[in-house]
């Protein structure tokens, strides 16, 4: 069987790649398991230089890797370059902080030496999406590896070249063979991988429905999971906010990565008294976006990753219009080859409309007008999702209070929600559970062990 790689911007076939059969999977898992056991025996200080070598390998091939990302999933090349650079930063961060994060935690006790230690658990299966084909993988890989674990990657089927290139980066960096292993397999193979005794845990980023299936399979096997799932992030703009600054960031928050991000702002919840001003500034910023060839320097909106995704987004936009939403800009697929869609802003959206109820995974924004701060928080929380939220206000004391009322894994005040190696990242409700990044992300896949030592006896 073969796995195809297509360029969504041109509808052309880039290549065909053989799917790993049962024999190849068994061989690769065996090598990965043996490599991880040897890696786990190293002191953390011996692992740290390897992380720096991964960062260096990413930067050496940054242009080549960024081009591959753009060709396989359609985002502007400038954004692909930034993605590779962020991966390098992530590995540098864990090289700098890994020893501190993994240090024994001494617990005061008069009768004993009591401490908490962090041990590796083994191989972590990473089931990853296509929208950030390098970052999603590498943000999980750095803490997994510095902790003494290994990683087995099952990547999205539409980015096989990125999946293979990731494995090559670790080879180029000199890490032990198989410590990071890519398996080119179909989704139907995931259950068997989860059940394999050599897999200790699972990290998954993707849709909520698939997350439920992964969680059920991993739960049945009694294996730890971290799930980063869908989102319909609110972008709340209160009457005392800097409207122009909020609108400028709103353009980036919604339309970066062609709107294909779980943490993209999707519901723009604006107090009625300033809603017209915000909408006008938001539209003005969106009109400056350039839809086109993602390889050209001036392009800011590339192709969506697949034609089917564009069809699904357009259906959501049309449904919202039929329900009463007003189109301020866009609202149509771009004619011609590729899966391009116009940057779209819908106004006068209500919480019951499709654009507010469902996750819109593409360049379409929904403005919801509210009468008060309390209504803004209520509308923001009226969602099955709880990944990120952005809150705009000039009153920082009030912002601290309101941020505690917002049901989300992260609240960014007067800024755009983004993942950062230094900060824990993850969601609540149907956006998943567990955390990536920061020291909490590292500890997710460690055996947190209590060691109690009493007085020496003769």
Active-site residue among 83, 92, 228, 359? Answer: 228
Q: What is the C-alpha separation between 245 and 226, in angstroms, rounded?
A: 35
Which run of H or E residues covers position 344? strand 344-347
Q: What is the C-alpha separation between 271 and 63, in angstroms, rounded?
A: 43
Task: State the CB neighbour count (10 A cutoff) for residue 255.
Answer: 24
Q: What angle do CA 25, 226, 306 make, to 5 degrees?
A: 70
Phi-psi region of 331 (alpha: psi -120 to 50; beta: other; left: phi over 0): left
Q: Exposed (0-12), middle (13-18) or buried (19+): which is 307, by Cβ within 10 Å?
A: middle
Query: What DSSP designation does 358 have?
Result: S
β-bridge mates for residue 2, sequence order = 18
> What is the rounded end-to-end Cα distance, in angstroms, of the chain?
66
Q: Specify whether 197 is catalytic.
A: no
In degrees and rounded to multiples of 5, residue 265 shows phi and psi of: -65, 135
Here the tokens at position 122 are 């083994």
Q: Which residue has the tokens 């997350």?
A: 211
The answer to whether the CB of 147 falls within 8 A of the CB of 102 is yes
Active-site residue among 72, 262, 271, 342? Answer: 262
Q: If you write DSSP's letter for every residue of 370-394 in order, what string do you get?
A: ESSHHHHHHHHHSSSEESEEEEE-S
In 10-161, at which residue ranges do the beta strands (DSSP E only) sit?
A: 12-18, 105-107, 113-120, 123-127, 150-154
Edge-first strand listing for the sheet containing 446-453: 105-107, 113-120, 446-453
- Nearest C-alpha neighbor of 347 from the set 329, 333, 322: 329
Q: Which residue has the tokens 């009625």?
A: 272
Q: Specify whether 311 is catalytic.
A: no
CA 392 to chain centre: 23
Query: What DSSP designation does 295 have?
Result: T
User: What are the residue numbers of the active site?
Assistant: 228, 262
């Amino acid at each position: 069987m073969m796995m195809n790689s297509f360029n969504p911007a041109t509808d052309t076939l880039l290549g065909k790649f053989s799917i790993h059969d049962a024999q190849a999977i068994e061989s690769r898992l065996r090598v990965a398991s043996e490599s991880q056991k040897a890696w786990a025996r190293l002191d953390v200080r011996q692992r740290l230089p390897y992380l720096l070598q991964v960062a260096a390998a990413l930067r050496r091939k940054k242009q080549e890797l960024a081009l591959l990302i753009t060709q396989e999933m359609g985002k502007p090349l400038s954004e692909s370059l930034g993605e590779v650079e962020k991966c390098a930063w992530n590995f540098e961060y864990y090289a700098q902080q890994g020893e501190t994060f993994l240090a024994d935690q001494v617990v005061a006790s008069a009768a004993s030496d009591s401490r908490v230690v962090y041990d590796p658990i083994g191989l972590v299966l990473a089931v990853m999406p296509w929208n950030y084909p390098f970052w999603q993988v590498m943000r999980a890989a750095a803490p997994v590896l510095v902790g003494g674990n290994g990683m087995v990657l099952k990547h999205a089927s539409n980015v096989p070249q990125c999946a293979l290139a990731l494995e090559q980066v670790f080879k180029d960096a000199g890490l032990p063979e198989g410590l990071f292993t890519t398996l080119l397999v179909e989704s139907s193979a995931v259950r068997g991988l989860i059940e394999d005794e050599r897999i200790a845990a699972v990290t998954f980023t993707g849709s909520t429905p698939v997350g439920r299936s992964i969680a059920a399979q991993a739960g049945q096997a009694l294996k730890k999971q971290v799930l980063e799932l869908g989102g319909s992030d609110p972008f709340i703009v209160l009457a005392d906010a800097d409207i122009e600054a909020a609108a400028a960031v709103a353009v980036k928050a919604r339309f970066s990565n062609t709107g294909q991000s779980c943490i993209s702002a999707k519901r723009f919840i604006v107090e009625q008294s300033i809603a017209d001003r915000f909408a006008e500034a938001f539209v003005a910023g969106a009109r400056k976006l350039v839809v086109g060839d993602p390889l050209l320097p001036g392009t800011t909106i590339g192709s969506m990753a697949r034609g089917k995704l564009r069809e699904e987004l357009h259906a959501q936009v049309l449904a919202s219009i039929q329900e009463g939403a007003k189109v301020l800009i866009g609202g149509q697929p771009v004619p011609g080859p590729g899966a391009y869609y116009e940057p779209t802003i819908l106004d006068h959206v209500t919480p019951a409309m499709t654009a507010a109820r469902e996750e819109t995974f593409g360049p379409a924004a929904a403005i919801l007008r509210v009468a008060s701060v309390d209504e803004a928080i209520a509308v923001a929380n009226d969602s099955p999702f709880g990944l990120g939220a952005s809150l705009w206000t000039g009153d920082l004391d009030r912002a601290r209070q309101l941020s505690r009322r917002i049901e989300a894994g992260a609240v960014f005040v007067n800024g755009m929600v983004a993942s950062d190696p230094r900060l824990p990242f993850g969601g609540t409700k149907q956006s998943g559970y567990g955390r990536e990044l920061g020291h909490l992300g590292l500890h997710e896949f460690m055996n947190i062990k209590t060691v109690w030592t009493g007085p020496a006896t003769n």
